[in-house]
Each structure stands twice: as C-alpha cells, then as structure tokens.
Amino acid sequence: MNAAEYIRDKLLLCFLHLGCMFFLTVFLRLTGYNRDCCIIILICWILILAVWLLVQFLLHRNYFSDMEQIIENMDQRYLLGELMPQSFRLEDRMYRALIRKSNKSVIERIRRLEKEQQDYREYIESWVHEIKAPITGIALNCENHKDERSRVIAAENQRVENYVDMALYYARMDAVYKDYIIEETNLQETAEEVLMRNKYSLIQSKMRAEVDCPHMVFTDRKWIGFILNQLVLNCAKYKRETDACIRISTEKLRESVLLKITDNGIGIKAEELPRIFEKGFTGTNGRQTARSTGMGLYLCHKLCKKLGIEIRAVSAEGEGTEMVLEFPLSLYLSGYRE
C-alpha cells in the first residue's frame, strides 16, 4: 500500500471534511466571527486531519507489510488467518475472524482431498500387487513352454506388466521420498536387467542392443530401472525398419556421470523436442503408432526431478534419439579424485 492508494481510498472522507469546513466557515461569519478567527480554526482542523490521516496511513502500511512478510515466508499460505498480527482496529479484527473461518473450511477440504488421494493410491498399489500374480504366472508358463506362440504371448505379457508398473509409479510419484533407497548402483547390471526383461519385445522388433556402463552412481536402483525401462521401450517403439540398434553407455565428467540411451530410430521433429516431457504429449510419431499415451517420458522427467537427476534429449528427425541422464557426482560418497 502506498500513499496515493491510501489518499484515493480516503477521498470521500476528505470531501466530507471540506464540506463541513465550508458550512462551519459560513456559520461563523454569519454569527459575527471575523475572517482571521475562521482561518485559524480551519488551519487547526486541517492540521489535525492531516496528522490523523498520516498516523492511520503509517499504521495500515506497517500492518499490511507485516502480513506480506508473513505470507512470503509461509509454505502453506492458506494458513494466513492463523498468523495474522493482532490489531486494535475493529475492522481488522473482523476481517481476521472471517479469514480464519474461511481458512478452516479450506483446511478441512484439503484434508478430505488428501484422504481421498491416499485411499486411491493405496487401492492402486493393492491392485498392482494383486495383478502381478497372474502376470508372473503367464511369464512362467511361457518360459516352461518355449515356442513361437509363447514368445509372442510373453512379449504381450511384458507389455501389460510395463503398463501396470506405470500405473504404480504414477500413483507413488508424489510420495517417492518414502520409497527410495540411495545406494551405490551398478549401471551395467541395471541396464542388462532391463534389456533381459524386454528381451522378447526386442527380439520381435529385431533390435540389437549394446551396453557399456562401467561407472557406478549413487541413486535408487529400482526407480532408475523403471526410468531406463521406459526409455528402452521408447527406443523399440520408434525404431527404424531395418538394422535397428540401441546403445546404453556411460561417460564420466568432472562432477557428474552421464548415462546415455542412444538409438538410430525415426527421431523427433525439432519443433516437438521441447515438449516431449509434457504430460500427455504424443507428437507426430505417437499419433502414427497409435500406441503412445504420452505418459512414459512425463513420468521419467518427474521421477528424475525428485531423484535429483537431470534428463534431456538430443534428436534429429530420421537419424535417431539420444536420451541423457546426468547423475551428480558426490565427492564425499564416491571418493572422486581428479
């Protein structure tokens, strides 16, 4: 609040005082008071009014400045009513009481929504664990009866499991801090496990894979496995027709380790590249395949952000795509030496 805004707010009051001054002056002159007495009375009136307005302005400004400072330092700004400073003005006390009533209603609504979200997340997690049993059963039957048909069924079954995992990780995304364990992770083993998990899909796609990941990083193995799995599936989904290849490798920099997932597929259009991590964005390639949900890369981006990993993409249409995960290197944990 500045002085100009305060004066505009008090214009009606000022006009009222000016009108009263005018009628008082007329009355005094009609009753025999000389002009000097009237001027002295008006000067005193104006001075008292000016001092009163100035004091009120300073009190209001300080009061609202304190509230602005409080709200800037708050994480949950809807609780402002609980922390508003006390005021001797009746109007401020009434506003404070109304805001506290409104805040109470908001808090109750937020708690109900949080409870509903928690119930939904618990249901999804329970459903995923239940459906994992028949998926595992189908996978075991395919392993025990290996033929061309069982390989096709196994590939489709793995695709179902991948979508189920996406549902589970999406449900847990906001509570990732409750479910991860930071430990030294062998990226070579993690990449090989992901490729073995999708071996039937890769064989069907006639896609060869190379892994060269000698470096270790500190991260959550399970969550990185999920992220890497989504990137490998994208490589298989948007492969070229002949001589399709995917390469997973690492590169060590001074303060980070880069995990690169490179393919020679159909690539991404330059104008679509900045949007690939947006929720639900499928792009031209996704519409052509009719199998894209636009959720895979969105989940990867969100999980990487929560794990402190940077993810980016480099691509040229018709030449392939390279997804890069950058793991910050902890000098304390890794014993890094120049």
Q: Domain spans of the chain?
A: 3-106, 186-338
CB-side neighbour CA atoms (13 Å) of 9? 10
Statement: residue 20 has pLDDT above 50: yes
Dihedral sign from CA coordinates of 107, 112, 115, 117: negative
State the pLDDT at residue 228. 92
* Alpha-carbon distances, residue 312 vs 218, 281, 305, 316 (angstroms): 19, 16, 11, 14
Say how far apart CA 279 and CA 127 lie, in whole Å.
24
Statement: residue 306 has pLDDT above 50: yes
Q: Can you point out the beta strands (E) in the chain?
A: 183-186, 207-212, 216-219, 244-252, 256-263, 310-316, 320-328
Statement: residue 334 has pLDDT above 60: no
Contact call for residues 260 and 250 (beta carbons, < 8 A): yes
Statement: residue 92 has pLDDT above 90: no
Per-position b or e across 263-284, b if 16+ CB within 10 A of its CB? bbbbbbeeebbeebbeeeebbe
**How large is the average pLDDT for residues 253-275?**
88
Confidence of residue 310 (pLDDT cuts 50, 70, 90): very high
Residue range 38-65, pLDDT digits in tens: 888 889 989 998 898 888 888 888 878 8
Structure tokens at 105: 């209603």
Give kind and range of the element (H or E) at residue 303. helix 296-307
Residue range 150-167, pLDDT digits in tens: 878 888 888 888 888 888
- At residue 196, φ and ψ (nearest 5 deg) are -65, -35
Confidence of residue 337 (pLDDT cuts 50, 70, 90): very low
Contact call for residues 285 and 273 (beta carbons, < 8 A): no
Say how far apart CA 195 and CA 211 lie, in whole Å.
9
Dihedral sign from CA coordinates of 26, 31, 35, 41: negative
Mean pLDDT is lowest, of 100-104, 218-222, 324-328, for 100-104
Statement: residue 114 has pLDDT above 60: yes
Closest CA to 139 of 76, 57, 200: 200
Residue range 274-294, pLDDT digits in tens: 888 888 777 777 666 546 677
**How large is the average pLDDT for residues 211-219?**
89
CATH number of the 186-338 domain: 3.30.565.10
Confidence of residue 189 (pLDDT cuts 50, 70, 90): very high
Place of tokens 């793995």: 158
Contact call for residues 330 and 258 (beta carbons, < 8 A): no
Say how far apart CA 202 and CA 155 lie, in whole Å.
9
Structure tokens at 295: 């959720």
Write down the pTM of the prediction: 0.64
* Alpha-carbon distances, residue 230 vs 36, 69, 211, 237 (angstroms): 90, 44, 16, 10
Statement: residue 338 has pLDDT above 80: no
State the pLDDT at residue 332. 44
State the pLDDT at residue 136. 83
Give kind and range of the element (H or E) at residue 57. helix 35-72
State the pLDDT at residue 295. 82
3-class state of residue 256 by DSSP: strand
Structure tokens at 71: 């709200």
State the pLDDT at residue 336. 41
Residue range 168-181, pLDDT digits in tens: 777 777 665 566 77
